[in-house]
Structure 1
C-alpha cells in the first residue's frame, strides 16, 4: 500500500476509548528521542493518567543529534537539557520523573540488533512489568528516521517478554515520505479522541524548548520542529496501528 493511502486510512481508523485500545493495565510509551512521546502519544498519556492508569516512558536516544554544532550546548549539556525538557513535558501530561527511563543511546545511531539493542529491549520489558502494561506503543517502523525504525525493532526484540501486552505503532514523520512509497498492508488499529487533552499536549510539546524555539541560538543548522508539524500532530485524534 502506498504511504499516502496508508496514512489516509489511518485517519479513518475507528475511534475507541482507552479500555478498548489497551485492555487492562498500564501503558509503556517508547520514544526514539525526547519529544516523540509528546508529539505522538501526548493525548494517550494524559488520558491514561486521567483514568489512573500507570504509564512508563522509555526514551531511547540521548537526543544529542539535534544541535551538533552548538558550542553553548556540547553533547553532555544538551543531553541534560533534553532530559530536563522531557521531565517538564510529561509533568504536563500527569507523569512523574520517576516514571521516565533514559537509555541514552547515541542519537542517529540507535542499533536495531545486537547486544545493545537487546539491552534496550530488556529495559522496555522491565518498564512493561513495572506498570503491568496492557499495551506498548512505539514509533512506526516506516517512519523515515533511522532511530524510529530502530526503536520499533527494539520493541520487536522485547516482544517475547511482553506477555499478552498489545503492541501499537504511532506515525510521527511518515507524512514526509514520498507519496508513492510502499509501506505494506492497510493499517488496522484505532484512533483515540484526545481533544480534551489538546491544551496539555501542546504545553508538553512546547516544554521541549530546544526543539521548538531559538533557545540554542548558536547552531543555525540545528533542528527545529516546524509549526505545521506540531499542528498536524496536535489534532483531536492520535493514531495507533496494530503490530
Structure 2
C-alpha cells in the first residue's frame, strides 16, 4: 500500500483503550531520540500514569546529532541537556525519573544488529519484565530515519526475549514519506483518545526546548521541529499500529 493511503487509513483506525493495547499489563515506550516519546506517545504515557499502570521509558540514542556543529553545546553538554529535557518531559506526563533509562547509543548511527543492538534489546526486555509489560511501543519501521528503523529492529530482538508481549508502532517521521512510497499491507491497530491529556502532552513537547526553540543558536545546521510537524502531534488521538512477529524488520 502507498504511504499516503496507509497513513490516511491509520488515521481512521478504531479507537481503543489502554487495556486493549496492553492487555492490562504495564508498558515500555522505546524512543530513538529524546523527544520521540513526547511526540508519538505523550498521551499514552500520561494516560497510563494517570491510571496507575507501570510505565517505563527507554531512550535509545544520546541525542547529540541534533546540533553537531554547536560550540556552546559540545556533545557531552548536549547529551546532558537532552537527557534533562527528557526527564522534565517525563515529569510533565506523570513519569518519575527512576522510570526512565538512557542507553546512549550514537545519534544518527544507532545499530540495528550486532552486539550493541543485542545489549540494548536485553535492557529493554529486562525493563519489560520489571514492570510486567504487556506491550512495547516503538517507532514505525517505515519512518524515514535510520535511528527509528534501528530502534524497531532492536525491539524485534527484545520481543524474542520477552515471551508473550505485544508490539505497537507509532509513526513520527512517517508522515513525511513521499506519497507513493510502498509500506506494505493496510494498517491494523488502534487509536487512543488522549484529549484528556492534551495539556500534559504539549507541556512535555515544550520541555524539549533544544528541539522546539532557538535555545542553541550557534549551529546553522541545527535541528528544530517545524510548526507543521508539531501540529501533527497536537490532535486528540495517537496512532498505534500492530506489529505481528512475522512482519518485524
Q: Distance in 1 between matches of 2:71 and 2:236?
A: 39
The alignment of Structure 1 onto Structure 2 pairs a total of residues equal to 243
Once the two structures are superposed, residues 172-191 of structure 1 have per-residue CA deviations (whole angstroms, 9 ceiling, x without a partner) of: 01111110000000010000
Deviations 1:112-146, CA, capped at 9 Å, x for gaps: 10000000000110110111001100000000000
Q: Deviations over 1:59-98 (max 9, x none)?
A: 0000000000100000000000000000000100000000
Q: Partner residue of 2:115?
A: 115
The TM-score with structure 2 as length reference comes to: 0.97
Partner of 1:10: 10
Within 5 Å, give how 1:74-223 maps onto structure 2: 74-223=74-223
> 2:170 touches 2:240 (CA, 8 Å); kept in 1?
yes
Cα displacement (A) at 1:221? 1.4
Unpaired segments ≥5 residues, structure 2: 244-249
Question: Displacement of 1:220 after TM fit?
Answer: 1.8
Using the TM superposition, give the Cα deviation of residue 104 of structure 1 relative to its aligned residue in structure 2, in angstroms.
Answer: 0.3
User: 2: CA distance between counterparts of 1:57 and 1:126?
Assistant: 12
Gaps of at least 5 residues in structure 1 are none
Over aligned residues, Cα RMSD in angstroms? 0.6
Q: Could you tell me how far apart the structure 1 residues matched to 2:20 and 2:30 are?
A: 20
| Distance (Å, rounded) in 1 between the aligned partners of 2:124 and 2:84 | 21
- Residue 217 of structure 1: how far off its partner (Å): 1.2
Cα shift at 1:159: 1.2
TM-superposed CA distance for 1:17, in Å, is 1.0
